[in-house]
C-alpha cells in the first residue's frame, strides 16, 4: 500500500493535535473512552475494558497510512480527546467531523479551538469542498461549538439510533463550505 498520510500535527493556541500512539491507550481509556457521559450522544458504547480501547487505537494507527484523519487532542502532553474526519463518501466531495473531549475539560473552549483548527487544516490540505457534522438535537454544546466555528445549520434529519435500539432521534446537520473559511 502506498502511504497517504493525512494526520499531521496541528498546534493551536492551547492544544497539540497529533496521531494516536499505542502509549495513549491507558490515558484515553481513563480520560474519556470509558465515560458514559462522554458517549451519551455518540455512536459507540463506553469502553468496558482497556483492551477495547487498545483495539480501537491500534486500528486508528493501522489506518493512518490509508489517509485517515484521526487526531489525539493533547493538553500539555496529556491525551484529553479525539477529533476525526470520517471520509466514507468517495466522490462526494466532503467529509464529516466527529469529536469528543474528557468531561474534566468541558466548557473551556477546547473543542471550539480543535474544530476550528481541523476545519482550516482540511480545507488547506485536501480537496473537500465542504465539511459536515451532525449533532443530536439535545447536544447543545456540540451545536454551539460548531456555530462558533462558522458551521451553519442546514437541516434536521430523523434517523434511528442503533445504540438506542432503533429509537428515532433528530439530528441537526451542520455544514461549512470552503468559501466560508474566510469568515472563520
Ligand X SMILES: CC(C)(COP(=O)(O)OP(=O)(O)OC[C@H]1O[C@@H](n2cnc3c(N)ncnc32)[C@H](O)[C@@H]1OP(=O)(O)O)[C@@H](O)C(=O)NCCC(=O)NCCS
Would you say 66 or 157 has its CB closer to ligand X? Answer: 157
- Looking at the Cβ atoms of 152 and 179, the one nearer to ligand X is 152
C-alpha cell at 24: 495513549
Number of Cβ atoms within 10 Å of the Cβ of 36: 8
CB of 64 to ligand X, least distance (A): 22
**Between the CA of residue 41 and those of 100, 106, 118, what are the distances in Å?**
10, 15, 21
Instruction: Report d(CA 149, CA 131) in Å as an integer.
Output: 12
The CB-of-50 to ligand X minimum distance in angstroms stands at: 20
Q: Which is nearer to ligand X, 66 or 120 (CB)?
A: 120
> Which residue sits closest to ligand X, CB atoms considered?
141
Q: Which is nearer to ligand X, 126 or 139 (CB)?
A: 139
Min dist. Cβ of residue 102 to ligand X (A): 8
* Closest to ligand X by CB, 46 or 141: 141
Which stretches of the chain bind ligand X, using CB under 6 A? 38, 41-42, 99-101, 106-112, 135, 139-142, 144-145, 148
CB of 113 to ligand X, least distance (A): 7
C-beta separation of 74 from 31 below 8 A: no
Q: What is the DSSP letter of 21?
A: -
Rounded Cα gap, residues 23 and 29, in angstroms: 11
> Which residue number, 65 or 138, has a Cβ lying nearer to ligand X?
138
- Quote the least distance from Cβ 46 to ligand X, whole Å: 11
Between CA 44 and CA 39 the distance in angstroms is: 6
The enclosing H or E element of 146 equals helix 140-148
Residue 76 Ramachandran class (φ > 0 left, ψ -120 to 50 alpha, else beta): left
Q: Output the smallest distance, CB 2 to ligand X, in A.
A: 32
Amino acid at each position: 500500500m502506498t502511504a497517504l498520510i493525512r494526520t499531521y500535527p496541528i498546534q493551536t493556541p492551547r492544544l497539540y493535535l497529533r496521531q494516536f500512539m499505542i502509549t495513549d491507550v491507558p490515558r484515553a481509556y481513563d480520560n474519556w473512552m470509558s465515560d458514559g457521559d462522554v458517549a451519551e450522544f455518540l455512536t459507540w458504547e463506553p469502553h468496558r475494558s482497556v483492551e477495547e480501547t487498545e483495539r480501537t487505537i491500534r486500528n486508528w494507527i493501522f489506518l493512518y497510512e490509508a489517509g485517515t484523519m484521526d487526531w489525539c487532542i493533547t493538553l500539555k502532553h496529556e491525551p484529553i480527546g479525539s477529533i476525526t474526519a470520517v471520509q466514507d463518501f468517495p466522490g462526494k466531495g466532503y467529509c464529516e467531523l466527529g469529536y469528543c473531549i474528557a468531561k474534566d475539560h468541558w466548557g473551556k473552549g477546547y473543542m471550539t479551538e480543535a474544530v476550528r483548527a481541523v476545519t482550516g487544516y482540511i480545507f488547506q490540505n485536501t480537496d473537500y469542498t465542504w465539511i459536515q457534522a451532525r449533532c443530536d438535537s439535545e447536544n447543545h454544546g456540540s451545536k454551539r461549538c460548531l456555530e462558533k466555528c462558522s458551521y451553519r445549520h442546514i437541516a434536521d434529519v430523523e434517523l434511528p439510533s442503533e445504540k438506542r435500539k432503533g429509537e428515532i432521534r433528530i439530528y441537526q446537520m451542520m455544514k461549512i463550505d470552503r468559501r466560508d473559511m474566510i469568515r472563520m
